[in-house]
Amino acid sequence: MDAKDILGLPKTPLPLTQEKKPRPQKDSQRKPDGISREVYALTGGVPPLMPSVDSSQLKKRPPTDEKITWQWLPFTSSARKDSLQLYHWVRVVNGVPPTGDYSFAKYNKSVDVVKYTDEEYEKFLTDPMWTKEETDQLFDLCERYDLRFIVIADRFPSSRTVEDLKDRYYSVSRALLVARAPSPGDVSGNLLVKEPYNVSQERERKRALSMVLSQTKQQERKDAEVLAEAKKITESRMVARSAEEPELPVASNSGLENVEKAIMPADTISPSSNAHLPSATVVPSTLMADNASTLASLRLLRVYLRTYALDQMIQAASSSAGLRTIKRVEQTLQDLGINLKPRVPTKAVCAEHLELRKEILTLLNLQKQLQYKEAEGSSFRDSTYETPGTPKDRMFIPDSMSFGVSGERVGKRDQKRKAPGRLTEAPSSPAQSKRPRKLKASDL
């Protein structure tokens, strides 16, 4: 079709004139209105079952009763103080040029900078660090540059820091405001009065920011390590014997000021907690440490919910277990018909629940141990010269002790048995499971 067009009628692909000129012989093939034939061909040349876009939405043409011309006309802007006349292209409708101000004039906003008389200056605004001349210059610049202090600092004749300029400006404004107000109460709500500009704080803040910004990657890593260390230390401070504990490593990079501030409250808590905690809590094993530190941190709270305490204890008990193990514990609980969160969490119930969870953890560990042992056994049988492969190779052995918890099979990770747990069923005979099963297709 295209070849014919090229050779025949040299029509344009754009439909600017298509609607106006009737083309009966093309109609059967050109279905769409408002999109070009080539574009239509992209969709397969067949009309869609439902119109995806309403064709009247496409290519809105200006209403034909309006006559549009463009004219080069002069204009003035209310944003200008002089009456400069400039020229620009204007869209004229039916010979009527548009009225109204220059459309961008509304963006000409400026800041209200206070103005003081000489008298007021003498009375309220004198300062040993600033001459009147400098102050006047400052205010003039503030007005001209709309309180853009970076620019003002640059333009200021004598070199002053941005913070100095800001300080002077805000204190003058505040003093004027207070002086001019009929009573102090009136202006106490004004932000200038309520939250005065704090030069030293600003200086510190900017210094800290620039330090953080200019940190090298090396320093960032070190900081992260120190933070993690600090966190661990605050946690271990919950346990007794904080007197002998090492001092918090003071951050070598000052960007950690916030961290130090956060650690300080922890410092104040731990001395008081020591008075309460029993003296002899030197903890030998990690499990005891977990328990003791959890208990200690709970005591510090002074008031807490039993369910919260249980959660903390559970977390402490499973701190050494991976996510998969925790899921298996929960699965086991469900199979045993126990609520993951006790319905009536009394002290006794919570204690029992916790013990049950710990016992299940022991159970799962023993299961794993048994698997390893059985795997080792089969390797001995097969060949005494072969070194045992990695445990992962041996996970074809079915988990014979499961309550319905899936054994570790390669490929199938979180398979949950839908059938009710086999709690009372005797496990399959151990002798059978000693031989490694050949991996069947059904296992995958």
Partner 1 sequence: MILNKMLKDVEISVPIVYGNVSFWLGKKASEYQSHKWTVYVRGATNEDLGVVVKRAVFQLHSSFNNPTRVVEAPPFEVSEAGWGEFEIAITLFFHSDVSDKPLNLFHHLKLYPEDESGPMSTKKPVVVEVYDEISFPEPSEGFVARVQNNPVVTFPRLPVGFTLPPLVPVEDASRKRRGDTKDHPLSQWFLNFSEADELLQLAAARQQVQAHIAKLRRQISVIEGQHQQSKSISDQ
Minimum CB distance to partner 1, residue 163 (Å): 40
List beta partners, residue 86: 75
Residue 220 as a binder of partner 1 (CB under 8 A): the answer is no
Tell whether residue 441 is a contact of partner 1 (CB under 8 A): no
How many whole angstroms separate alpha carbon 434 and alpha carbon 230? 49
CB of 340 to partner 1, least distance (A): 13
Q: Are 430 and 400 in contact (CB under 8 A)?
A: yes
CA–CA separation, 213 and 207 (whole Å): 10
Per DSSP, 296 falls in state: H
Binding range to partner 1, per CB under 8 A, among 111-119, 120-128, 300-308, 316-324: 300-308
d(CA 70, CA 90): 6
273: tokens are: 């907690």
For 341, 397, 442, the CA distances from 306, given in Å and listed in that order, are 11, 42, 47
Within residues 115-174, the interface with partner 1 by CB under 8 A covers none
Q: Which of 123, 221, 324, 373 binds partner 1 (CB under 8 A)?
A: 373
280 binds partner 1 (CB under 8 A): no
The verdict on 269 binding partner 1 (CB under 8 A) reads no
Question: What distance in Å separates the CA atoms of residue 150 and residue 163, rounded to the nearest whole number?
Answer: 10
Applying CB under 8 A, among 80, 381, 412, 416 the residue interacting with partner 1 is: 381
CA angle 298, 303, 309 (to 5 degrees): 45
Separation of alpha carbons 357 and 349, rounded Å: 12
Contacts of 84 (CB under 8 A, 6+ apart): 76
Specify the residue, 163 or 335, whose C-beta has the smaller distance to partner 1: 335
Stretch that binds partner 1, among 146-154, 245-253, 320-328, 362-370 (CB under 8 A): 362-370
Output the smallest distance, CB 326 to partner 1, in A. 16
Least distance from partner 1 to the Cβ atom of residue 335, Å: 10
β-partners of residue 93 are: 68, 96
CA distance 347 to 326: 23
Per rule CB under 8 A, is residue 298 in the interface with partner 1? yes
Q: Is position 422 an interface residue for partner 1 (rule: CB under 8 A)?
A: no
**Contacting partner 1 (CB under 8 A), which of 220, 245, 376, 393?**
376
The least distance separating partner 1 from the CB of residue 316, rounded to whole angstroms, comes to: 16
Name the helix (H) or strand (E) containing 92.
Answer: strand 86-93
Site string for partner 1, 322-361 (x = CB under 8 A): -----------x--xxxx--xxxxxxxx--xx-xx--xx-
Note whether 435 binds partner 1 by CB under 8 A: no
Which residues are paired to 92 by β-bridges?
Answer: 69
Is 81 or 302 the residue whose CB approaches partner 1 more closely?
302
Structure tokens belonging to residue 109: 């906003």
Tokens describing residue 110: 């400026």
19, HSE (Cβ side, Cα atoms, 13 Å) = 10
- Cβ nearer to partner 1, comparing 149 with 403: 403
Applying CB under 8 A, the site for partner 1 has a residue count of: 48
Angle at 303 between CA 302 and CA 304, to 5 degrees: 125
Is the Cβ of residue 163 or residue 374 nearer to partner 1 in the bound state?
A: 374
Name the token pair of 381.
Answer: 């049988």
187 binding partner 1? (CB under 8 A): no
Q: How far is the CB of 427 from partner 1 (least distance, A)?
A: 8
Residues making contact with partner 1 (CB under 8 A): 276, 298-299, 301-307, 309, 333, 336-339, 342-349, 352-353, 355-356, 359-360, 362-363, 366-367, 369-370, 373-374, 376-377, 380-381, 384, 401, 403, 423, 427, 430
